[in-house]
Homo-oligomer: A and B are copies of this chain.
Amino acid sequence: MKKAQEKRVVVIGGGFAGFSAVKTLGNCKGILVTLVDRRNHHLFQPLLYQVAMAGLNPSEISVPLRSYFSRYKNVDVLMAEVSQVDLENKKINFDNEWLSYDYLLIACGSKHFYFGNDEWEEYAPGLKTIEQATEIRRRILLAFELAEREKDQKKREQYLTFVVVGGGPTGVEMAGAISEMARNTLYKDYKNANLKKTCVVLIEAGSRILNAFPEKLSDRAKSDLEDMGVEVLLNQRAGPLSKHGVKVGDRFLHAHTIIWAAGVKPSQLTESIDVQKHTDGRILVGGDLSLPKNPNVFVLGDQAACCVDKKDEKEFLPALAPVAIQQGRFVARLIKNEMSGKSRSSFRYVNKGIMVTIGRSRAVASSGPIQLTGFLAWLAWVFVHITYLVRFKNKVFVLLQWIWAYFSFGKGARLIIHKTWRFYSGKKIPISKNSDL
């Protein structure tokens, strides 16, 4: 039961922003926290590509929200999908229930954006959820199996062609990992298909991959990828997509497997909230991350268009995990301060740097004046990711998996898990081979 002097903070979304906010508000006197998420777990998305690449298990990069927050008496966790935010009456709706708030934190992240071509999703899944990661894993491993059995040379090449759309961190990591897995790990398991001939194409619309990095590192990442057998296409737009492949400029790439790592847009809920938005759909927030007309409502993480003043230009903070984590902590502290009568300050992002791994012993990292490449960058990447992983058990198991994989050159969870049937409206639906690919 809420007491009169207590404030209810409702947090929508248990991603990086929501998770760090709830953690900071844990066991605070006078504050009741309700975390609402349609998933029952927090997901460490930076390592999700390793689940898709059969290197890690889903559970090793996830934390069940309920058990994690059971340590705080003032935190409630609800597994539900918020359908409506009523800013006027200060309440949110899920499954026909209303929940009132004193403070609201909207942090439900982003989803993939196919530039208006939603039908492409069938041919090129994105990588945001565990389900998508295991689906991508299934498609990649199945492609090798189909190639092994195929007698037609052309078709076999198509099975062994993998296209990754989007040259950001996820695209680079996926492209590198597929090429490495085929050439270094799996090739000896296949007797008919020559996996050394696996063709991985990375398509980037801009003039360089990893455009958030210094140009030198972008170039290094490109040459690392090319060393590993990845074809990198710059200044090229992908589309249209079909089950036969993808059109890129004048070329049609016959590919059995396409992975979407290009556009994102804020999640569904954002659209239904009637506030001022940036052209990319993100909600425009003030310096304290609140809505201009609703100072008790904050928007965080991928959903927020948060201004950074630079000398000459106005810029928005990128959709990165460290931004979301810092924003969550900032808003939580702001609420605590406000309740003890202090005034609000503005959010300042402390950029500790960015890094991305390209393959075995290969990565690029940039932090202030420091730029690392190769083995050193890769070691730094391993260290940072183990440090930031939530839950001690996950740290131990992920580190063990990595050590094992490093010394055995092997990959872990190479399972093809089918959905052979599914009940839909009471009917048993067989998932046929074609519809499933």
Contacts and interface: CB of A to CB of B under 8 A. Distances in A.
B80 A149 contact: yes
- From DSSP, what is the main secondary structure of chain A's interface residues? mixed
A145 to B, nearest CB: 5
Interface string A413-437: 1111111101111101101100110
A62 interface: yes
A415 B70 contact: no
Interface string A177-195: 0000000001011110000
A67 B417 contact: no
B149 A417 contact: no
Given A66-B190, A131-B420, A188-B70, A58 B426 contact: no
Q: Which of A186, A419, A423, A436 has the most CB of B within 10 A?
A: A423
A78 interface: yes
Interface in A27-41: 39-41
Contact of A422 (B78, B414, B415, B419): B419
A437 to B, nearest CB: 9
Given A40-B416, A67-B414, A131-B419, A432 B426 contact: no
B131 A58 contact: no
A40 B423 contact: no
A148 B36 CA distance: 13
Interface residues of A, number: 57
A57 B414 CA distance: 12
A70 B188 CA distance: 7
Contact of A416 (B39, B190, B425): B39
* Total copies of the chain: 2
A130 interface: yes
A122 interface: yes
Contacts of A415: 40-41, 58-59, 62, 64, 130
A141 B41 CA distance: 12
B41 A416 contact: yes
A78 B58 CA distance: 27
A321 interface: no
Contact of A417 (B79, B130, B189, B418): B130
A122 to B, nearest CB: 5
Contacts of A406: none
Contacts of A66: 189-190
A404 interface: yes
A231 interface: no
A402 to B, nearest CB: 13
Contact of A414 (B40, B141, B189): B40
Given A131-B417, A400-B400, 16 more contacts: A40-B145, A57-B59, A57-B413, A59-B413, A59-B415, A62-B415, A64-B414, A70-B188, A78-B148, A122-B426, A131-B420, A397-B397, A419-B419, A422-B431, A423-B436, A424-B431
